[in-house]
Structure 1
Amino acid sequence: VGKLLGADRRMKGGLGSFVWTLPDGVKVGALVVVNALEDIVDPKSGIIAGARGETPGSFADSTQALLDGVESPVLTGTNTTIGVVATNARLDKTQLRKMARMAHNGLAKTIHPAHTILDGDTIFAVSVPEESESRENPSVNFMAIAVAGEKALAKAILLGVKRAESIAGIPAYKGG
């Protein structure tokens, strides 16, 4: 992650997952591979991984670098964050499309800037209902499921970076 200012200032991305359980027992989970061009941002504390700054332990802030006119040396197609949000509730295709779109909000809250022309960010949504569940389930709270998908994806992105390990000289997150 954080390759906007060049490979020598990047950090290690990772694989993250998180499951949210709603009060009615419906589970919504996310699995994501984080290979972003930009910075990974914890909404509570700021940048946790990204383009490293000139001072050890600091970050360059990819958003500000772009606003300042920095051009990225990274080629299109070499960066993507790809993931899936899944639930055990029975959802139809229209609901799944909406759930995937809403999950992109979780990506945008944790990757700054998100969805640039150099990214291939993609989120899929799937429904894997229990065998015993009836064909129709009018009691499903779709709005809660979709919001949980957004939250689960955001958390999975943060955990993917936090759990990454340094490799081949590429540093990883070392925070708390």
Structure 2
Amino acid sequence: MTAGPARSVLRRGRGVLEVPGVALGHAWHTGAGRLTGTTVIVPPPGSTAGVDVRGGGPATHETDALAPGTLVDGADAIVLTGGSAFGLATAHGVQRGLRADGRGFPAPGLPGVTVPIVPAAGIFDLGRGGEPCAPPDEADGHAAYRDARTDQPHLRGSLGAGTGAWTRRGLVRGGLGQAVVTTPSGHTVAALAVANPMGGVLDPAGRLHAASVLAVHGIEVPPAASAPRAGAQGSGNAAPGPADSARNTTIACIVTDVGLDPARTARLAQSAHAGLARAIHPSHTLFDGDTVFAVATGERREAIVDPLVLVELGVAAADALSAAIVDAVLCAEPDPVPGRVTAAGVPAPPALVESAPDTARAWRALA
């Protein structure tokens, strides 16, 4: 085993792209009438995959195929998308691209025919760009797949599946974020998160809920002057009601360079949910469809079985996901359409870089 650091090291870094062989692609829309997008993670062939769904309102596709003991051990791509259940059509566009490239599960008795396995999860961002409430579609999924590359320059912020994300029941923009942990044993565990939760990442005093997690890794950022409040001056939003509370979900993918069997890959996704709960309050509500995928790219014949290393990986997954969620919200940009009004007649919310610039700038200055 390669010698690693004396303790785990958490960074923003390049997220899932720090795991060799992983490609990342996006497609998104920001003009009048559409504020949504899609992100695809393409692991190298032979990777294992797992998933854990804990929210009460998930929008998912092919998650059952990732259960331990099923026919396939992995996924050819993982799709995170806007558009709620409608946006799951993007998985078919990714599947089309994979099949054209010869990726997928070999169809029994049909030489040359493959069936790509493309699990997906969606957030609810319908109507946030205004009329029409157009979700990402199959063409967007295909475009995101064709954009996938190992040197992807678009890593975080208001892009891909995080384009139309909101937090705190619509008081603050959410987004897409990434973080990476190098474990004491020298392994890489990265997280990509799309933060669109009912809850928020700041406590009433403006301190990050995940501050204690970050402090373990020697990371501190100044608190916001105060957490955004419903109806506050400059909040760009009225007091949230039941309809606002129901338009949520945080979705994520953990990627590691370790070799894990399907059961332990699923366990990695389960462990990561602790990081979601530490970064967002409240989390895993009836209105959130919180879903975490996990991908292990190592060779199966070298699968890790040491319980101490497995615990180490689970801790790293949780910490990386906490940081990725913080990254998503603090790297979100102001809406590109000034004065945008949603299809529900609600003004679009500000980004934290506007209402808490010192906090956002300090975070963005981290490596």
| TM-score, scaled relative to structure 2 | 0.39
2:292 alignment counterpart: 123
What 5-or-longer segments of structure 1 have no aligned partner?
59-64
- Checking the alignment, whether the CA contact within 8 Å between 1:12 and 1:171 is kept in structure 2 is yes
SS for the counterpart of 2:201 is strand
Which of 288, 307, 320 pairs up with 1:152?
320
Q: Is the 8 A contact 2:185 2:309 kept in 1?
A: no
Residue 55 of structure 1 deviates from its aligned partner by 4.0
Structure 1 counterpart of 2:244, one-letter code: V
Offset of residue 49 of structure 1: 9.4
Mean Cα deviation higher: 90-99 or 110-119: 90-99
Residue aligning to 1:13: 174
**Other-structure match for 2:243:** 73
**Secondary structure of the residue that 2:259 maps to in structure 1?**
coil
1:63-118 deviations in whole A, cap 9, x for unaligned? xx9xxxx8522264x31110011110011122122211111111111111001111
1:173 correspondence with 2:352: yes
CA contact 1:3–1:50 (8 Å) conserved in 2: no
- State the partner residue of 1:61: none
2:244, 2:227 → 1: CA distance? 14
Change beyond 3 A, Cα 1:150–1:134: same
- Per-residue CA shift, 1:42-61, capped at 9, x if unaligned? 23277899753444489xxx
Pick from 135, 143, 163 the counterpart of residue 302 of structure 2: 135
How many residues are paired up? 159
For 2:285 and 2:303, the matched residues in 1 are separated by 39
Residue in 1 that maps onto 2:46: none
The aligned residue for residue 196 of structure 2 is 35
The answer to whether the Cα contact below 8 Å between 1:2 and 1:50 also exists between their aligned partners in 2 is no
The one-letter code sitting in structure 2 at the alignment partner of 1:11 is V
Shift in CA distance, 160/48, structure 1 to aligned 2, threshold 3 Å: farther
Q: CA deviation at 1:160?
A: 0.7
Secondary structure at 1:73 match in 2: helix
Percent identity between the two aligned chains: 35
Check if 1:103 corresponds to 2:272. yes
Q: Deviations over 1:15-38 (max 9, x none)?
A: 000110112221000001111122
**TM-fit CA distance, 1:134:** 4.4
Q: Is the 8 A contact 2:304 2:310 kept in 1?
A: no
Larger radius of gyration: 2
Distance in 1 between the 2:313 and 2:225 partners? 27
**How far is 1:145 from its partner?**
0.5
Deviation at 1:135, TM superposition (A): 3.1
Q: 1:49 to 1:34 in 2, by over 3 A?
A: farther
CA distance in 1, matches of 2:352, 2:284: 22
Distance 1:125 1:83 in 2: 8
Change (3 A) 1:107 1:32: same
Note if contact 1:31-1:85 (Cα within 8 Å) is conserved in structure 2: yes
CA contact (8 A) 1:20 1:148 kept: yes
Match of 2:229 in 1: 52
Offset from partner CA, 1:113-132 (integer Å, 9 cap, x none): 00111111100111011x5x
Residue aligned with 1:74, SS: helix
Corresponding position of 1:26: 187
What is the TM-score of this pair, normalised by structure 1? 0.77
Higher-RCO chain (CA-CA 8 Å, sequence separation at least 6): 1
